[in-house]
Amino acid sequence: MRADRLIAILLLLHSHERLTTRDLAQRLEVSPRTIHRDIEALCAAGVPIYAERGRLGGWRLSEGYQATPPALTTAETSTLFIAGAAGLLSDLGMDNTLQTALLKLSAWLPESDREAVEHILQRIHIEPGNWFRNANPLPHLSTLQQAVLQDRVVEIVYTRSDGSLTERRIEPYGLIAKAGVWYMLAQTDQGRRMFRVGRVQSALLTDDTFKRPPDFDLAHAWNEARATFENRFRNYTITLRVPAALLPIVNKVYGTDVPVGPRDADGRLELRLSFESFETACFFVLGCGPGVVVVEPEDLRLAVLEALHKLLSQYAQALHASRVQ
């Protein structure tokens, strides 16, 4: 709704010294033209918004302007409580603080809103982790969190994807949680890089500080880094046919819902998936179990067939050895 968007623009300008049209459009997921129309509407309503020109310019509110904060709706309040139950902040040691804040908020809610919140919380629960997550998988997260909050350089020992160790001196810009997994976006001597926090073997907080770029936006930087990562590591495309009943398993193993193509004469679905390498694709197909058929490429079909022959031979030998004993 436009009224909600106008309030959002006002709140964003309250919490930032200045924001460009592009910043506002990206945050609110609308076009720059829509932002211009909304700002014109706010100005016509008497809100003192003005533009600053130049490279570091943007929209800003007149200094000293204060607007009456809008009251939270029941839906907005419920959303806060649901997000508070998600559990991710426990990794950062902030879960108790969040629960205290929500308790204070609850005390000021009208009785009808408290009942509505309780109604929703008894029907929706969010668990960000997975079944096989270790109890204490992130021993260095608190150190990295401190480095991020204080803009301090940190020296880490990191495990690469190939298992080798590397020592890095980095400037951590931010922490991001995706599907229950924590990542760190940092500046290194080789440019901006993304690190998986669970692969950090040691972290030493130094006394050296750094300055983040004035126009740095963590959400925007993460989206760019994620797109680069996905494009780089998903360049091997395969085509599969799977029974419809196996589609949930394929989605689970792949990590996201895959686009579904047409059905063949036997009712199987055609899927096109991309992977970082031939080896990863082969491992994926074998992990999905029987029923998954590789349509193309031919080299993957042959590799899967060879792997199955080897697997059958290994189990036959193991079974024979156990019977002899």
Q: Which residue, 84, 70, 79, 58, is CA-closest to 8?
A: 70
Determine the topology of domain 2-61 in CATH.
Arc Repressor Mutant, subunit A (1.10.10)
236-319 classified as CATH 1.10.3470 = no
Q: What b-and-e string marks burial along 160-178, b requiring 16 or more CB atoms within 10 Å of the CB?
A: eeeeeeeebebbbbbbbee
H helix or E strand, kind and range, residue 73: none
Q: What b-and-e string marks burial along 210-223, b requiring 16 or more CB atoms within 10 Å of the CB?
A: eeeeeeeeeeebbe
Question: Can you give the residue ranges of every domain in the chain?
Answer: 2-61, 74-121, 141-230, 236-319
| Residue-level pLDDT at 150 | 94
Residue 197 phi/psi, 5-degree rounding, is: -60, -35
In order along its 325 residues, the chain shows pLDDT tens digits of 577 788 888 888 887 888 899 889 988 888 999 999 999 988 888 889 988 887 778 998 888 777 666 677 777 777 777 776 556 677 777 777 777 777 777 777 778 888 887 887 777 766 666 665 555 568 899 999 999 999 999 999 999 877 889 999 999 999 998 877 889 999 999 888 989 999 999 999 999 999 998 888 888 888 888 777 766 656 788 898 888 888 888 887 777 778 788 887 778 888 888 887 788 888 888 888 778 889 998 988 898 888 888 888 888 888 878 777 6
| Location of structure tokens 């494009």 | 231
Contacts of 231 (CB under 8 A, 6+ apart): none
| Residue-level pLDDT at 232 | 65
Strand order in the sheet with 200-209: 191-196, 181-188, 165-178, 152-159, 200-209
141-230 classified as CATH 3.20.20.10 = no
Contacts of 62 (CB under 8 A, 6+ apart): 48, 49, 50
H helix or E strand, kind and range, residue 195: strand 191-196
pLDDT tens for 287-315 read 887 788 899 989 888 988 888 888 888 88
With 0-12 / 13-18 / 19 or more C-beta atoms within 10 angstroms meaning exposed / middle / buried, residue 231 is exposed
How many residues does the structure list for the chain?
325
